[in-house]
Amino acid sequence: SIDISKLRSATGLITMDPGYKNTGACESKITFLDGEEGKLMYRGYPIEQLAEKSSFVEVMYLLIKGELPTQSELDKFITDINEYNYVSEDLIKILDAFPSSAHPMGVLTSLTAALSAFNPKVVDVTSPDDMYRAAVTLLGKFPVLASWTQRKIKGLPVNYSNDKLSYVENFYQLLFKKPGQELDLDPVIIDAIDKLLILHADHEQNCSTSSVRLVGSSHAGLFASISGGISALWGPLHGGANQAVLEMLEAIKNDGGDVEKYLAKAKDKNDPFRLMGFGHRVYKNFDPRAKIIKVAADNVLEKLGINDPILDIAKKLEKAALEDEYFKSRNLYPNVDFYSGIIYKALDIPTEMFTVMFAVGRLPGWIAQWMEMRETNQPIGRPRQLYTGAPLRDYVEIEKR
């Protein structure tokens, strides 16, 4: 038999970095983040300025094109997106086939992958014009698909886009408009959603974005690559954390509201429980997005006159964790997902939809990263491994095992 150490050495020199904690996979001009200082910039613009002064549609343009648009460039971008803000009626048959208990993220990733079949011309594109066309096609169709996932769990008929509305207003009416109803578009609500989408729009090489790049590095098309990113986002350690935060807060409330008990559980190394919405792979300081969202959450709740016991628990938990030695010594601060769920809940968005909202925000970032990856001719992604399995052995017939 062959010695396993020989099998290992046959691999040559390998950098082991499970979870890619310190491995750079690409150069990028899109997003800068400084985890120590808690700073985030899209194309050089601080996230604080974009959240205050820009709009989600303008940020989409910035991420994808690299510069802020002039008014006429922005108008053309919106017209281009609106050209594609419908989805083939045949896709409704796929939607209908899902049970109403299906998780919206499962439905969204499937419908996005199905777009490849319905739009074969944008599947394998390489020229800048074709890539742009693929991008605006997806930006147009994605809010429609995302809204369908909510309509499905609520048992409501699907809605269609309204070109007269802004991107975010249209998304809102796609989600909420009931048949025969005139929907009130409250500027406070639209502004809060716009901000949330801006803050989620890109975050350099996180798990879902790296997935989009890895899938796309095989030259799979944009829609298939994004579908991979949606699946990666779904998990509770990534985008699924916003749903997990709300579920955790509800559980604490139903258990008598004792935040100290849950803090102790999170610190107990024999208990798998973690405080959802706390900690971040890169931020070892306050997540700058969390700071902005915390203020937005306070505004929305005050303006909508919402007094929610869940919010009191969130505030108590935040205070207790920030004062706790375990959390302080490990630099575990509330992240963006800790507060976003609170706003979504106030806006009457079902808990299972929270990660879909994140996906709508992250879409322009995924697209920009996918385009940059193709434009810079990134090689196919293919990590190595260190084999630790059985050494070479002979096959044993089934009756002799």
The set of catalytic residues is: 280, 337
69: exposed, middle or buried (Cβ count in 10 Å: 0-12, 13-18, 19+) = middle
Residue 238 or 374 having the CB closest to ligand ACO:
238
| Least distance CB 116 / ligand ACO (angstroms) | 26
> Is position 362 an interface residue for ligand ACO (rule: CB under 6 A)?
no
Among 135, 300, 314, 336, binds ligand ACO (CB under 6 A): 336
Exposure letters 154-166 (e unless 16+ CB within 10 A, then b): eebebbebeeebb
Considering only CA atoms, give the Rg of the chain.
23
Residue 103 or 238 having the CB closest to ligand ACO:
238
| Among the residue ranges 96-104, 180-188, 312-320, 330-338, the one whose residues contact ligand ACO (CB under 6 A) | 330-338
Interface size with ligand ACO, residues (CB under 6 A): 18
Which residues, other chains included, contact 151 with Cβ-Cβ below 8 Å and sequence gap of 6+? 157, 158, 159, 175
Among 84, 278, 339, 354, binds ligand ACO (CB under 6 A): 278
| Among the residue ranges 191-199, 276-284, 362-370, 371-379, the one whose residues contact ligand ACO (CB under 6 A) | 276-284
Q: Scanning the structure block, which residue is given the tokens 């070109």?
A: 163
Site string for ligand ACO, 254-273 (x = CB under 6 A): ------------x-------
Name the closest residue to ligand ACO (Cβ).
279
Among 38, 279, 364, 365, binds ligand ACO (CB under 6 A): 279
Q: Helix 241-254 vs helix 309-322: angle between axes, to the nearest 10 degrees?
A: 100
In degrees, rounded to 5, the angle at the alpha carbon of residue 220 between the alpha carbons of residues 33 and 354 is 50
> Is position 330 an interface residue for ligand ACO (rule: CB under 6 A)?
yes
Site string for ligand ACO, 139-178 (x = CB under 6 A): ----------------------------------------
Residue 63: which of 287, 363, 310, 328 has the closest Cα?
A: 363
> Is position 197 an interface residue for ligand ACO (rule: CB under 6 A)?
no
> Is position 332 an interface residue for ligand ACO (rule: CB under 6 A)?
yes
d(CA 102, CA 117) in angstroms, rounded, equals 22
> Is position 281 an interface residue for ligand ACO (rule: CB under 6 A)?
yes
d(CA 186, CA 351) in angstroms, rounded, equals 21
Site string for ligand ACO, 213-242 (x = CB under 6 A): ------------------------xxx-x-
| Least distance CB 35 / ligand ACO (angstroms) | 10
Token pair in block for residue 397: 């017939």
Q: Scanning the structure block, which residue is given the tokens 């985008």?
A: 239
Q: Scanning the structure block, which residue is given the tokens 């409330």?
A: 253
> Is position 335 an interface residue for ligand ACO (rule: CB under 6 A)?
yes
Residue 142: which of 117, 171, 116 has the closest Cα?
A: 171
Residue 30 or 158 having the CB closest to ligand ACO:
30
In degrees, rounded to 5, the angle at the alpha carbon of residue 183 between the alpha carbons of residues 181 and 187 is 175
Residue 95: which of 148, 40, 48, 171 has the closest Cα?
A: 148
| Among the residue ranges 26-34, 63-71, 130-138, 278-286, the one whose residues contact ligand ACO (CB under 6 A) | 278-286
- Binding-site ranges for ligand ACO (CB under 6 A): 237-239, 241, 266, 274-281, 330, 332, 335-337
